[in-house]
Amino acid sequence: MSEIDPKLSRLYREASSVGPPAALDAAILAAAGKQIAKPRRRERSAWLRWMAPASAIATLALGVSIALLVEREQPGTIDETAVRPAPPQLQGAPPARATESTKPKAADSATPAATGKKEAPAAVAPAPVPAVPAQVPLLAAPAPLPHPAASMPSAPPAAEAFPAERRAKAIAPGAAEPKAAESGIAAPKADQSKRVRASNVTGDSALGAAGAAAPPAPAAAGKLAPLRQQAIQRSPEAWLDEISRLKREGREKEAAEQLAEFRKAYPAYAVPESLLSK
Amino acid sequence: MLAYRDGEGAAFELLYVRWRGPLYRYFLRQCGHAGQADELFQDVFMRVIGASAGYEPTARFTTWLFRIAHNRLIDHWRKLGREPVDPLASNENGEDGEFDPPAPEDAAPERQAERRQLGVALLAALNELPEVQREAFLLAEEGGLTLEEIATISGVGRETIKSRLRYATAKLRHKLESWR
């Protein structure tokens, strides 16, 4: 600085070299160190301050989503409890598959079966008559084993069988999926739209079919329903395979009866020559 | 200072080592008493530490530091019932007033005889300077501040600081003449 003589400035610097005492240095540096620690604590406290509300929000969101899921599942659960008493009416249905399609908890890991179960009660639930819940397991249960032809009443009309088959797929996708895949129909998914569609189907044609089976004679309903269900559950290919198997086993009479039923159910279906010939 | 604000303790140590001597001497020369200088010095650095969280570099750190020191010194003087008197009454145009006569000759020779060193004589002469001139001198020497920075800290115009420095230098030279 030009206002101060450089010689004077140099002399001042040489003469003035005193500094603060060491104790003062230590006290100030210690205070500075404490000051550094404060912001870190403040950061941690800020995190802790936000952690509680964040966890509360997360818990709330989780609870709401679970509640919504439970609410969605609830109709299925109620109807499944109504379905449980039905399995004893299954005649000839394999126990394992019947259990799989009727027990609510058994198929938790199998998503398609679980969704099928949800849909089955949804399809049956609107039915006002008390006989309907008893028929639900029959509808839901696949019936791969043949029934004696003598006990089979007349098969449902073909026009009725097709929507009934669709309904059966909606009701028991676990059983119907493989056949649906064979016929090029996409496997049913447990979405709301399909559920609505299934319930619509149930409301007009499917329940109508069930109702058509029930009214003729309450005593005969026990026999009629499995047979009709058999027609509903089976695809034509599966039925023909069954008839073919009966023929191979030499059970010609049963095969003929089954074939007659098949032709009633599917009059327009082209039956292979091997089955027609004796 | 920014590094210290962001949690780097070593940055403060660097600052402290750099400015501990100049700031301490600033107070020591102004107060003339080591105990008061200790107190003021510690108080200023405590203020610096306390203000570090909200520190923004609006000026050089040195300017900021010595502004705190200047304010603290003013408070100290007020507490003691003293007011720093500017012997150079600035006129309306901001020009320098009349040249202040040297300090009484009776005190200076005694001190000069006692210390027998030119440096010591300088410090003594510095101590005899009017407070505002001494402060301007110390801010320039210890803080290395420019005229504008000193003017900002002292709250006066640049020309006033220039005059103070010029008169301070002249007085110091005058005091040291007898030792040459």
User: Does B39 map to a domain?
Assistant: yes
CA distances for B157 relative to A19, B19, B56, B95, B152, angstroms: 31, 26, 25, 10, 8
For the stretch A20-53, what's the b/e string if a residue is b when 16 or more beta carbons lie within 10 angstroms of its beta carbon? beeebbeebbebbeebbeeeeeeeeeeeeeeeee
pLDDT band with cut points at 50, 70 and 90 for residue B12: confident
DSSP annotation string for A192-229: HHHHHHHHHHIIIIIHHHHHHHSTT-TTTHHHHHHHHH
Query: Nearest to residue A199, comparing CAs of A100, A101, A127, A113?
Result: A127
Q: In chain A, how many domains are there?
A: 1
Q: Considering CB atoms only, which of B9, B20, B141 is closest to A20? A: B20
- Whether residue B129 sits in one domain with residue B72: no
The arithmetic mean of pLDDT across residues B138-157, rounded, is: 90
A71 touches chain B (CB under 8 A): no
Q: Considering CB atoms only, which of A8, A13, A24 is closest to B38? A: A24
For the stretch A175-213, what's the b/e string if a residue is b when 16 or more beta carbons lie within 10 angstroms of its beta carbon? bbbebbeeeeeeebebeeebbebbbebbeebbbbbbebb
pLDDT band with cut points at 50, 70 and 90 for residue B151: very high
Best mutation target, A13, A36, A40, A41, to test chain B (most B CBs within 10 A): A36
User: Does A116 map to a domain?
Assistant: yes
- Whether residue B171 sits in one domain with residue B114: yes
pLDDT of residue B101: 39
Q: Considering CB atoms only, which of B4, B25, B118 is closest to A11? A: B118
What does the pLDDT look like over B111-133, one tens digit per residue?
Answer: 555 445 788 888 888 888 888 99
Sheet strands (E) in A100-172 = none
Q: What is the CATH number of the domain that holds B115?
A: 1.10.10.10
pLDDT of residue A64: 94
CA-based nearest residue in chain A for residue B12: A32
pLDDT of residue A201: 42
Indicate yes or no: CB of A1 within 8 angstroms of CB of B45.
no
Contacts of A31 in chain B (CB under 8 A): 45-46, 49
B146 in Cβ contact with B64 (< 8 Å): no
Q: In chain B, how many domains are there?
A: 2
pLDDT of residue A149: 42
Indicate yes or no: CB of B123 within 8 angstroms of CB of A25.
no
pLDDT of residue A5: 80
Q: Considering CB atoms only, which of A8, A15, A35 is closest to B120? A: A15
- Whether residue B73 sits in one domain with residue B15: yes
Half-sphere exposure of B156 (CA within 13 A, CB side): 25
Domain hosting A172: range is 109-234
- Distance from the first to the final alpha carbon of chain A: 127
User: Does A11 map to a domain?
Assistant: no
- φ/ψ bin of B155: left (φ > 0), alpha (ψ from -120 to 50), beta (otherwise): left
User: Does A102 map to a domain?
Assistant: no
Contacts of A12 in chain B (CB under 8 A): 119, 122-123, 126, 141
Indicate yes or no: CB of A28 within 8 angstroms of CB of B45.
yes
- Whether residue B61 sits in one domain with residue B117: no
- Whether residue B9 sits in one domain with residue B60: yes
- φ/ψ bin of B7: left (φ > 0), alpha (ψ from -120 to 50), beta (otherwise): left
Q: Considering CB atoms only, which of A8, A21, A36 is closest to B172? A: A8
ipTM score for this prediction: 0.74
- Cα–Cα distance for residue pair A234/A143, rounded to 1 Å: 8
pLDDT of residue A59: 94
Contacts of A17 in chain B (CB under 8 A): 21
Query: Nearest to residue B123, comparing CAs of B111, B105, B132?
Result: B111
User: Does B96 map to a domain?
Assistant: no
Domain hosting B148: range is 107-177
Best mutation target, B26, B172, B177, B179, to test chain A (most A CBs within 10 A): B172
User: Does A218 map to a domain?
Assistant: yes
pLDDT of residue A226: 58
CA-based nearest residue in chain A for residue B137: A4
Half-sphere exposure of A16 (CA within 13 A, CB side): 25
User: Does B86 map to a domain?
Assistant: no
- Whether residue B115 sits in one domain with residue B59: no
Chain B closest-CA separation from residue A58 CA (Å): 32
pLDDT of residue A274: 78
- Whether residue B59 sits in one domain with residue B6: yes
Q: Considering CB atoms only, which of B42, B123, B162 is closest to A28? A: B42
Query: Nearest to residue B142, comparing CAs of B21, B16, B12, B1?
Result: B21
Indicate yes or no: CB of A31 within 8 angstroms of CB of B49.
yes
- Cα–Cα distance for residue pair A54/A77, rounded to 1 Å: 33
Mean pLDDT by 10 residues, chain A (278 residues): 78 83 89 75 65 90 92 64 50 46 43 42 43 43 44 44 47 44 42 44 41 44 56 78 88 87 80 74
User: Does B19 map to a domain?
Assistant: yes
